[in-house]
Structure 1
Amino acid sequence: MNKDLKRILSKYMVPILFIIICGVGIAIAKPPLSYLTGELARRMARNTFLVLSLIVPILAGMGINFGIPLGAMAGQIGLVFVTDWGITGIPGILVAALVGTPIAILLGNFSGRVMNKARGREMITSMMLSYFIMGVYMLFLLYFFGSIIPFSNKKILLSQGYGIKNAIKLDVAKGLDNLLNIKVDFGLMGQKVAFEIPVFTILVIAVLCVFIVWFKKTKIGHDMRAVGQDQKVSSNAGLITDKIRIQSIVISTVLACYGQIIYLQNIGTLNTYAGQDQAALYAAASLLVGGASVSKASIPNAILGTALFHLMFIVMPQAGKALTGDAMIGEYFRTFLSYGVVTVALIMHAYERQKEMAENRVKARQKMNGQKVKLKA
């Protein structure tokens, strides 16, 4: 029983820790339930799609894809074009997705090929790659858009006549969220709870969850799982491991493109040059908070982690203000935790991996000794 409890605590240490942190934060800040539930519902609808886009590469043994900002950039380029063309609502979101998809496929393919050259270091490679592509992205937006690529909407261009402004208001704002919106209003623990649920956005997220479950059962899903478990065995079995790994990154990048569009239509404005900066970090932290690792992740991990991570984001500034009178203390604390979770999870994974390798070596040695004893007999 003690061993089972120790194993459970070890496996779910990060989510348990965050539940305690969020519980303490709520007890200190005592935020109104209406504000807490409403803000959490908005953040869940806004961020869950992006977090789910990380699952497929983990299935293929690629670790956490810190290159999802490439997909986010593709989605943002689609939104810039849609804003220039003046397309609003759902049509604008669909056109932005259509424009972003081929860019995301191209970037995902490039990213996958680079990561195949850096086996065992995919996560740091994908992170560095996102910084490189960000330079190309900025070149397009600062110089090509409005000069080489014609733009008619002068409101989104810089005063020099080319280049996109730092922040632009999106015509597709709330296009998805307002399509089917349910208002919830009830009393709980003597407080009035009122918030809106963007049902259509949640349905889109549910469709992605169904797609991931279905995808895992397809041939390519089984191939990715086999490659993720052992590349040498998969290669000897006739699987083209490089191609399968690239496919996983392409799927993740395209999903990140859609996820960023969903995120930004909820926000309503586009931070043109920095909107994609935190996409990978916050999505990765959310997934790890839910109990996932860099070698195993599931849909429940993504949903639970998104809820806990963003609950901390809501509560900590208020808790910091209640304790010290300065909300920035809470901001510093949650920034520290968001980076800390990724760091601790990676260290734990490396430790578990070394421990597993050591156990495998001991088992192999015992097996060889057993075979030698039989031969002597």
Structure 2
Amino acid sequence: MKMDKNKIGKLLTASAVPMLFLLICLFAIPLSQFSGSYLLNNIVTRLIRNSFLVLALLLPVMAGMGINFGMVLGAMAGQIGLIFVTDWGVPGAPGLILAAIIATPIAMLLGYFGGRVLNRAKGREMITSMMLGLFISGIYQFFLLYVCGSIVPFKTPGMLLSRGYGVRNALTLNVAKGFDKLLLIRIGGVNIPVGTFMIIGLICVFTVWFKKTKMGQDMRAVGQDMHVASTAGIAMEKTRIQSIMISTVLACYGQIIYLQNIGTLNTYNGADQAALFAAAALLVGGATVSKATIPNAIIGTALFHLMFLVMPMAGKYITGQAMLGEYFRMFVSYGVVTLALVLHSWKRQKDKEMDRSQFRIAVANPPDK
């Protein structure tokens, strides 16, 4: 009976974060005064827009490297691909595929560099990957501000600043809705882009398959214990680099899917929040910095963006001021990561206490011989 109580306790602590944010959403939905069809339409839109980016975080977590805030490197690579495709005037899904082809080698190179750096910062991967993203952002902005149009020729003068070089701050993408329009159906007033959902399904299938491969098993072993994995003959540092490279390339594709859904590109700041929002969504789904699954990613994306959608209007109706609603939005988006990490630390402590309790019970009541 006590063992069952411990199992129930572990289940409750594991689901504490998603349950908390579900309660916040249930509280805020009536206050926001949004209709059910409006909320459902927006949740479907945000799922297809953000799920791929969140799923790109799973492999580094499995490899024991925590949340890969360096995924912004892949997002920047994806944006570079979209900028060139927009300049060349390639529309729709072919333009998106071409953007992915252009961006893939850039993402692989950045992922390899990021993996090498993180191997020198073992135990501090998350903060190091965040700093790495800021460093590469400077190089990315230099490339777009001074190299594009001066050294790298552009066919479309309207994409450049008035001085003749440097990409404009905002661009309208000619590949907008390229994947979303491939197979679009409407059910009960809700638009469902089946084509984009199929692409998201592919990364889920890839993740499940990859975990069963030798490389996936090596990543799992490295994530559980680097010393034991190294003793067993696994190339630990190489495996960690591979996990970051794959994550960076997937983040590149995720940013392309995200931007084709929006239809516009914020040239210089578009990738800045990608890692923060993806990490927040993953943590809200019940993942931790040491364990994350596909359901964590999908549930977390839906819950986080539902809360992100209803909180500003709920804040507006509570306080009577629209600006305070926007402050609620920013408070929630940044605070959710902090709160989820605090709850994760609390969960780890509770799990340790339950394990000690089970050990004492087992010692006090040895099995009959």
* TM tier, smaller: over 0.9
1:315 aligns with 2:318: no
| Residue from 261, 275, 279 that aligns with 2:274 | 279
The answer to whether the 8 A contact 2:6-2:354 is kept is no
The answer to whether the 8 A contact 2:69-2:130 is kept is yes
Kindly provide the amino acid, as one letter, of the partner of residue 292 in structure 1.
A
Corresponding residue for residue 191 of structure 1: none
1:117 aligns with 2:112: no
1:166-205 paired onto structure 2 within 5 Å: 166-185=169-188, 194-205=189-200
1:18 aligns with 2:21: yes
1:34 CA displacement? 1.8
**1:220-267, CA deviations, whole angstroms, 9 ceiling, x for partnerless residues?**
000000000000000001011000000000000000000000000000
Kindly provide the amino acid, as one letter, of the partner of residue 222 in structure 1.
Q
Kindly provide the amino acid, as one letter, of the partner of residue 146 in structure 2.
Y
Higher mean C-alpha displacement, 39-48 vs 347-356:
347-356
1:244 aligns with 2:247: no
Corresponding residue for residue 98 of structure 2: 95
1:213 aligns with 2:208: yes
CA distance in 1, matches of 2:357, 2:235: 32
Kindly provide the amino acid, as one letter, of the partner of residue 27 in structure 1.
P
The answer to whether the 8 A contact 2:281-2:304 is kept is yes
Kindly provide the amino acid, as one letter, of the partner of residue 62 in structure 1.
M
Say if 1:233 and 1:52 are closer, same or farther in 2 by CA, change over 3 A. same
SS at 1:306 equivalent: helix
1:9 CA displacement? 2.4
CA distance in 2, matches of 1:184, 1:346: 38
1:339 aligns with 2:325: no
The answer to whether the 8 A contact 2:10-2:351 is kept is no
The answer to whether the 8 A contact 2:14-2:347 is kept is no
1:350 CA displacement? 4.4
Higher mean C-alpha displacement, 294-303 vs 315-324:
315-324
CA distance in 1, matches of 2:343, 2:223: 19
Kindly provide the amino acid, as one letter, of the partner of residue 138 in structure 1.
Q
Corresponding residue for residue 232 of structure 1: 227
CA distance in 2, matches of 1:299, 1:13: 18
| Residue from 61, 75, 79 that aligns with 1:76 | 79
Kindly provide the amino acid, as one letter, of the partner of residue 278 in structure 2.
A
1:106 aligns with 2:109: yes
Higher mean C-alpha displacement, 311-320 vs 218-227:
311-320
Kindly provide the amino acid, as one letter, of the partner of residue 9 in structure 2.
K
| Residue from 118, 142, 151 that aligns with 1:139 | 142
**1:2-32, CA deviations, whole angstroms, 9 ceiling, x for partnerless residues?**
5444322221111001100000111222311
SS at 2:69 equivalent: coil
Say if 1:110 and 1:158 are closer, same or farther in 2 by CA, change over 3 A. same
TM-score using structure 2 length: 0.92
CA distance in 1, matches of 2:351, 2:337: 21
Corresponding residue for residue 284 of structure 2: 289
1:353 CA displacement? 5.5
SS at 1:48 equivalent: helix
CA distance in 2, matches of 1:276, 1:343: 21
Say if 1:36 and 1:355 are closer, same or farther in 2 by CA, change over 3 A. closer
Corresponding residue for residue 364 of structure 2: none
1:260-279 paired onto structure 2 within 5 Å: 260-279=255-274
Count of residue pairs the alignment pairs up = 356
CA distance in 2, matches of 1:357, 1:128: 32
Kindly provide the amino acid, as one letter, of the partner of residue 318 in structure 1.
M
CA distance in 2, matches of 1:355, 1:25: 29
The answer to whether the 8 A contact 2:308-2:333 is kept is no
Corresponding residue for residue 190 of structure 1: none
Kindly provide the amino acid, as one letter, of the partner of residue 224 in structure 1.
M
**1:313-358, CA deviations, whole angstroms, 9 ceiling, x for partnerless residues?**
1111221122222233232223222222211333344455677789
CA distance in 1, matches of 2:133, 2:110: 10
CA distance in 2, matches of 1:357, 1:115: 28
CA distance in 1, matches of 2:134, 2:304: 25
Higher mean C-alpha displacement, 335-344 vs 225-234:
335-344
1:157 aligns with 2:193: no
SS at 1:67 equivalent: helix
Percent identity reads 62
What are the ranges of 5 or more consecutive residues in structure 1 without an aligned counterpart? Answer: 186-193, 365-377
TM-score using structure 1 length: 0.90
**1:158-196, CA deviations, whole angstroms, 9 ceiling, x for partnerless residues?**
0001000000000100111011100112xxxxxxxx120
Corresponding residue for residue 373 of structure 1: none
SS at 1:182 equivalent: strand
CA distance in 1, matches of 2:358, 2:185: 57
Corresponding residue for residue 53 of structure 1: 56
1:362 CA displacement? 12
The answer to whether the 8 A contact 2:161-2:167 is kept is yes
Kindly provide the amino acid, as one letter, of the partner of residue 172 in structure 1.
V
SS at 1:196 equivalent: strand
Corresponding residue for residue 68 of structure 2: 65
What are the ranges of 5 or more consecutive residues in structure 2 without an aligned counterpart? Answer: 360-369
Kindly provide the amino acid, as one letter, of the partner of residue 307 in structure 1.
A
SS at 1:183 equivalent: strand
Corresponding residue for residue 11 of structure 2: 8
Kindly provide the amino acid, as one letter, of the partner of residue 55 in structure 1.
L
Say if 1:2 and 1:360 are closer, same or farther in 2 by CA, change over 3 A. closer
